[in-house]
Amino acid sequence: MVGLFSTRAGLPCQKRINAAMLMLVTIWGLNFPIVKGAFAELPPFAFNGLRFAGASVLLLAVLRRLEGPQRIPRSDLLGLALLGLLGHAGYQTLFMAGLARTTAGHSSLILALVPLFVGVLGVALGLERPSRRMWAGLVIAFVGVFALIGGRGGLPTAGGSVVGDLLTLSASLCWAAYTVLSRPFLTRMSALRLTTVTLVLGLPVILASAIPDLLRVNWPGVSVGSWAALSFSSVFAVVISYVIWYTSVQAFGSARTAAFSYLIPVVALISAWALLGEPLGALQTLGGSVVLFGVWLARMEVVAEEVVADARR
């Protein structure tokens, strides 16, 4: 993780962050089929509590090694605690609770609204000024996600629980707010430090929600495969991916970073087809192409800025 991002003139290399974000999309897309099999032995909240506890320990060790101890100003503590509650405790708890009460199709479609929520919140708070091209790309990508979900025979888009849908919608808002509100803090601390501090501050709520499931786990019956899934999710899907996410927010802004999340359903569907044998139809293929075009359109401004910056050097 140390060599993942190089710097030039004090700023992370944009090309490397783009590559890292594509790696993040792959990790989060693969995370679905990899983790799904572990839920039979480790219930969702127990799995979530264990992976975030392990991720917190690892992040603290990495932070101490790379940056050393650093005192956090008291004026920042309340805001960082809010980020921890929104992006870690709130998002994870609401998502797990929502998924248990509605269809996977509903959850996927609602979570695909995150980039749009990020754009709206960024504009409302005066932190972002997405261009028309950016908005067009986000909307086109969302249409592609809708086609992906609608074309998946195993995931109906109707008949889900209203309560579950509302919980998932709340989870989407938590993640969007977490992404947007992090930007001011990223002007005075690294992505690694912000990720670590907010995760540790949100951990008590995650562990509290996991206690009932943890008490029900048949620990001798947990297989090596489930522990491997937990390790993958903790190290790659949380530790590495969260740092990449915040580094991209720091370099590109929250709206352009969130646009990448439209690619996650594409990877998730392909990996589920390859690993679990789930169907992948023509409509899904078309939807994936539309998503790719929308993300490319939304990110085009960043590429143009990079070309101009390189030309000036």
- pLDDT per position in the chain (313 positions), as tens? 444 444 443 445 677 888 899 999 899 888 877 877 788 899 989 999 999 999 999 999 999 988 888 888 888 999 999 999 999 999 988 887 777 676 555 566 667 677 777 877 877 777 666 677 777 777 787 777 666 666 554 444 444 466 777 887 888 889 889 988 988 898 888 888 999 999 999 999 999 999 999 999 999 999 999 999 999 999 999 999 988 988 888 888 777 787 787 777 777 777 777 776 766 666 666 766 776 677 667 666 544 444 444 444 4
**Domain count of the fold of the chain:** 1
In a domain, 9, yes or no: no
Say if CB 111 and CB 172 are below 8 A apart.
yes
CA 77, 83, 88, 91 dihedral sign is positive
In a domain, 3, yes or no: no
- The pLDDT score that the predictor gives to residue 288 is 65
CA torsion 81→85→89→91, rounded to 10°? -140
3-state SS, the chain, equals CHHHCCEECCEECHHHHHHHHHHHHHHHHHHHHHHHHHHHCCCHHHHHHHHHHHHHHHHHHHHHHHCCCCCCCHHHHHHHHHHHHHHHHHHHHHHHHHHCCCCHHHHHHHHCCHHHHHHHHHHHCCCCCCCHHHHHHHHHHHHHHHHHHHCCCCCCCCCCCHHHHHHHHHHHHHHHHHHHHCCCHHHCCCHHHHHHHHHHHHHHHHHHHHHHHHHHCCHHHCCHHHHHHHHHHHHHHHHHHHHHHHHHHHHHCHHHHHHHHHHHHHHHHHHHHHHHCCCCCHHHHHHHHHHHHHHHHHHHHHHHHHHHHHHHC
Select from 128, 260, 126, 254 the least CA-distant residue to 186: 254
In a domain, 44, yes or no: yes
Say if CB 112 and CB 279 are below 8 A apart.
no
- The pLDDT score that the predictor gives to residue 191 is 86
In a domain, 91, yes or no: yes
Select from 294, 18, 14, 249 the least CA-distant residue to 146: 294
What six digits make up the tokens of 99? 């998924």
In angstroms, the Cα distances linking 168 to 55, 113, 187, 264 are 23, 11, 30, 17
Select from 180, 181, 191, 175 the least CA-distant residue to 78: 181
- Could you tell me which residues come within 8 angstroms of residue 57 by beta carbon, excluding any fewer than 6 positions away? none
Report the distance separating Cα 270 and Cα 268, nearest Å. 6
In a domain, 50, yes or no: yes
In a domain, 34, yes or no: yes
Note down the domain range covering 42: 16-312
- The pLDDT score that the predictor gives to residue 303 is 45
In a domain, 5, yes or no: no
In a domain, 256, yes or no: yes
How many residues are given for the chain?
313
- The pLDDT score that the predictor gives to residue 281 is 67
